[in-house]
Each structure stands twice: as structure tokens, then as C-alpha cells.
Amino acid sequence: AGLSISKVDKSLTFSDKINGYKNAYSASTTNEEIKKVRQDGGIVTALLEFLLKKKLVDAIVAVKHADDLWKPEPVIVDDVKDLYKTGGTKYANASTLAIIDQAKKYENIAVVGTPCMITALKKGSLYPGGLPFFKNIKYTIGLFCMEAFSFENVFNLTGEKFEKNLEEVTKMDISGGKFIISLKSGEVEKVPLKEVKSYARPNCHYCEDLTADYADISVGSIGSPSGWSSVITRSKQGHKIYKDAVKAGLIESKNLKDIKPGLGLLERIAGSKRKGCKPIILEKS
Ligand SMILES: Cc1cc2nc3c(=O)[nH]c(=O)nc-3n(C[C@H](O)[C@H](O)[C@H](O)COP(=O)(O)OP(=O)(O)OC[C@H]3O[C@@H](n4cnc5c(N)ncnc54)[C@H](O)[C@@H]3O)c2cc1C
Ligand code: SF4
């Protein structure tokens, strides 16, 4: 049903791999402070800062490191000065949806999340069941996601595959078919992604959505060079804030079709996630 929602909107390009979209870009923040905390192009943080500063939202729901480093902690941020603490990817899944109701005092909010979270929010907004906390979600920013891990398994894979402690790790990344960690020592170590697949959450093996099909804007690294993000604008309001942030000089933006490996690689990997995921078989009761 969700895919057909985008199919009937003639203003969108429809792809069975990355769903409907207005346009796709490769982009990088121009803000030197965001560059220090970003995962890829810093586009998520740049857009959130734009939304808060322009008062298009009163608060955002994002994820920072908990006191246990690399443990994700969902947070509600209503002051730009706290935003940069949320930069960078934590590969353990976060319980973002559990704190959404705490943001119901705000009139307008933005939520950042993995594709499964964005789908849940979309369903909640289509079938609200009287719940007040979906109505104030004005923008969703979806992150591309191949898989996530429990915090316990982030700890385990760092120890078992890299023989390192989490405190030594300054950045984790999934790129070019490798799971990559950067260390305080300056070293960078990689293992093939297929070697860490068994650490992923079992639910993720059933997930077909790479690019957050139902977000207003989707952001990830696949398709763009290092230090840049691939950005898919989907809804009218998502496309507008992206273009406005580019116009304001906060983001350097190129068309993803003009970038190598670009949209072709993104569609290929998104298609293989859809085709390759395990089927969900519902048993009749
Ligand atoms: C679990 C996970 C798996 C991912 N897998 C892929 C992948 O396979 N391929 C790919 O191209 N991209 C993947 N991404 C997205 C990628 O890592 C970057 O988040 C994305 O490119 C945005 O980069 P940025 O520099 O614009 O973000 P930044 O400006 O650094 O902002 C990062 C944002 O991510 C949010 N965030 C961090 N961790 C989490 C979390 N656990 N749950 C929810 N939100 C979080 C923060 O709140 C912050 O707003 C994944 C992200 C996550 C969270
Ligand atoms: S792979 Fe799918 S189910 Fe797993 S965290 Fe990512 S979006 Fe959610």
C-alpha cells in the first residue's frame, strides 16, 4: 500500500528499488564545526540545524552517545547548541520511537531514524488511532540502513573481529562491503561486511528497505564519495527545505546522476536488499 502511495503522485520519479522521489543529490556541509562530528556529508546535522534556526521546528528527535560510548541514546534537542552531540552514526539500534511521546509538548518536530522507524511513523500518521504525538511530526529524515546491531553485539564484534575495546574506537562505518573502525591511535581497520552479518539483529535480515522509502528526505553514504552524502528528496516539504538550505549556502550540492558511482550503485544495492531479504511468513492461527 505504501509503495502505491508514491506511485500515484505524478510529481515523483518512481523506482521499485528506492521508492518515489523528487530528486537525488550528492552533498556535503559547508560548516567546519559539523565536519568535525559528521558521519559522511554532515547533511543530517546541517538540515536539522537549518530547521531549528529557521524555527520550522521547535525540537528534533535524534540519537547521541550514552555515557557508555557507542551505546545510542535517543534525545529530544530543542537548542542548537546541543545538536552537534548527535552527529555521527551509532550502529546499535536506538529506541527513538519510545521517546516520541515525550516530544508532544512541542508544536512542530523533526525525527531522524532508520527506515524501520520512519515506516512505523508513516503508519502511525496514516492510522493515528487518536494518538496525539504523530500530529506534530513535520519532517522525517531517514538514514539508509543495511543492518543494525544490538549494543551487546557492537561490543562483541569490536572485541572478536578487531580485538579492540569500544573506548579505543573513534568512528565506525560500513562502506565498500567492509565494516570499518577508526581508532584513537589513528589506525583504520576493516573486515569484510559478510563476516559481521551474523552479529546483526535477526529482524534486519527480514528488512527490505535500504533508503527509508517513506521519509521526507533520505540520507546515506552509498553512491557518494567520502565526506559526501547521497540525499533523496521525496516529499514537497522535504524537497523545499533541502533546496532552501542549499540556497542559504549551508550545503554544497550536486546531482547524484552526475556522480560516480552515484544513483546506479544506490539503486543496485537497494534492489539487492529488497530481493535478498528473508520473506516474512505469517502463520494462520
Ligand atoms: C544503524 C545504521 C546503519 C546504517 N547503514 C548504512 C548503510 O548500510 N549504508 C549507508 O549508505 N548508510 C548507512 N547509514 C547511514 C549513514 O551511516 C549516515 O548516518 C548517513 O550517511 C548520514 O550521514 P551524515 O554525515 O549526513 O549524518 P550526521 O550529520 O553525522 O548525523 C547523523 C544522524 O544520525 C542519527 N543517528 C546516529 N545513530 C543513529 C541510530 N542508531 N539510530 C537512529 N539515528 C541515528 C543522529 O541522531 C544524527 O542526527 C546507517 C545509519 C545507521 C544509524
Ligand atoms: S535493517 Fe531494517 S529493520 Fe534493521 S535497523 Fe535497518 S531499517 Fe531497521
What pLDDT is stored for residue 1 in this prediction?
A: 42
Atom of ligand 2 nearest to the CA of 148: 5
Q: What are the DSSP calls for 38-64, one per residue?
A: -SSS-HHHHHHHHHHHTTS-SEEEEEE
What pLDDT is stored for residue 285 in this prediction?
A: 66
* SS3 label, residue 153: helix
Helix, strand, coil percent values for the chain (each to nearest 5): 40, 25, 40
* SS3 label, residue 217: strand
Distance CA 46, CA 184 (A): 26
Please, are residues 213 and 3 in contact by the beta-carbon 8 Å criterion? yes
Residue nearest to atom 8 of ligand 2 (CA): 116
What pLDDT is stored for residue 130 in this prediction?
A: 66
Beta-sheet strand order (sheet of 251-255) = 72-77, 59-65, 109-113, 137-143, 217-220, 229-233, 23-29, 251-255
pLDDT, tens only, 171-212? 999 988 899 999 999 999 999 999 999 999 999 999 999 999
Cα of 214 to ligand 1 centre, how many Å?
A: 16
Q: What is the mean pLDDT of the chain?
A: 94
Neighbours of 109 (CB within 10 A): 24
Cell of 268: 543496485
ipTM: 0.99
Cα of 93 to ligand 2 centre, how many Å?
A: 8
pLDDT at 7 over 80: no
* Residue 57 near ligand 2, beta carbon < 6 Å: no
Residue nearest to atom 19 of ligand 1 (CA): 89
* Residue 95 near ligand 2, beta carbon < 6 Å: no
Q: Which residue type does 65 have?
A: H
- b (16+ CB within 10 A) / e for 59-72: bbbbbbebeeebbb
Please, are residues 257 and 24 in contact by the beta-carbon 8 Å criterion? yes
Which whole number is the average pLDDT over 216-232? 97
Q: Which of residues 131 and 220 earns the better pLDDT score?
A: 220
pLDDT at 266 over 80: yes
Atom of ligand 2 nearest to the CA of 200: 4
* Residue 174 near ligand 2, beta carbon < 6 Å: no
pLDDT at 22 over 60: yes
pLDDT, tens only, 52-68? 999 999 999 999 999 99
Report the share of the chain in percent with pLDDT over 70. Answer: 96
Among the four given CATH numbers 3.10.450.750, 3.40.50.980, 3.90.230.10, 3.40.1710.10, the one describing domain 149-199: 3.10.450.750
Q: Report which of 11, 15, 13 is spatially closest to residue 211, judged by C-alpha positions.
A: 15
Which whole number is the average pLDDT over 143-168? 97
* Residue 93 near ligand 2, beta carbon < 6 Å: yes
Binned at pLDDT 50, 70 and 90, residue 30 comes out as very high
Q: Report which of 230, 236, 234 is spatially closest to residue 256, judged by C-alpha positions.
A: 230
Q: Please return the burial class of 240, using the count of CB atoms within 10 Å of its CB with bins 0-12, 13-18 and 19+.
A: middle
pLDDT at 4 over 60: no
What pLDDT is stored for residue 10 in this prediction?
A: 84
Binned at pLDDT 50, 70 and 90, residue 134 comes out as confident
Distance CA 83, CA 99 (A): 17
Residue nearest to atom 24 of ligand 1 (CA): 42
Q: Report which of 35, 20, 33, 83 is spatially closest to residue 228, judged by C-alpha positions.
A: 35
pLDDT at 124 over 90: no
Ligand 1 pocket test target in 89, 99, 233, 265 with most atoms within 8 Å of CB = 89
Q: Which of residues 39 and 128 earns the better pLDDT score?
A: 39
What pLDDT is stored for residue 216 in this prediction?
A: 97
pLDDT at 135 over 60: yes
Residues within a 6 A CB radius of ligand 1: 38-45, 62-63, 72, 86-91, 93-94, 96, 112-114, 143-146, 148, 174, 219-222, 229
Q: What are the DSSP calls for 30-41, one per residue?
A: --HHHHHH-SSS
Phi, psi of 254, rounded to the nearest 5 degrees: -125, 160
Ranking 75-89, 120-134, 257-271 by mean pLDDT, the lowest is 120-134
Binned at pLDDT 50, 70 and 90, residue 215 comes out as very high
pLDDT, tens only, 70-88? 999 999 999 999 999 999 9
